[in-house]
Homo-oligomer: A and B are copies of this chain.
Amino acid sequence: MTSPSPVPSFRIGTEFLREHWQGHRLLTRRMIEAFPADALFGYSLGGMRPFGEMAFELVSMADVGVQGIATGDWNQLAHHGPGPRPATHDAILALWDATTARIDALWPTIPPERFEAVDKAFGQWEGVIYGLLFYWIDNEIHHRGQGYVYLRALGLDPPAFWER
């Protein structure tokens, strides 16, 4: 097998990447559900943010992010603002599910070569698209890992890391 690229590289299916992202997002959704109502936006450790605030950051990043990948428009959407931040399970889960559907709807419109293009995410972070998406996924795993400690410290069992 020879590569047409000037640098050594390999291929990743766009569907693999969608499933990888959505699998992580499904696990984070389970984490949101696992938090008691008063703890989701009211509990934290070490002066950090409650998990619900982190989850709001994650869903906002994913929602504008998939739009940016698909269209090159990194502006926040009307449906995400300027309303109040969610403060309940129902409100954050409704946002979460809307973004999940949006990712699935926009994904097939993204030409595969778009993932190799350079863009400036959210008007600020320049990089190749797949690298930007990895950063968002990594950021979600990072904060979700923090949520695992919150849940354990509350005496609750988090969902298994490998269940996506």
Residues of chain A whose beta carbon lies under 8 Å from any beta carbon of chain B: 1, 3-5, 7-16, 20, 24, 45-48, 112-116, 128, 130-131, 134, 137-139, 141-146, 148-155, 161
Contacts and interface: CB of A to CB of B under 8 A. Distances in A.
Nearest to A4: B4
Of the listed residues A7, A10, A45, the one surrounded by the most CB atoms of chain B closer than 10 A to its CB is A10
A53 to B, nearest CB: 15
A10 B113 contact: yes
Contact of A146 (B128, B130, B146, B154): B146
Contacts of A7: 13-15
A26 B115 CA distance: 26
A113 B11 CA distance: 8
A23 to B, nearest CB: 10
B10 A46 contact: no
Contact of A48 (B8, B20, B152, B161): B152
A50 B46 CA distance: 16
Contacts of A11: 5, 9-12, 116
A7 to B, nearest CB: 5
A10 B8 contact: no
A126 B22 CA distance: 20
Nearest to A135: B162
Of the listed residues A113, A145, A151, the one surrounded by the most CB atoms of chain B closer than 10 A to its CB is A145
A5 to B, nearest CB: 6
A130 B115 CA distance: 16
A26 B96 CA distance: 32
A143 B137 CA distance: 15
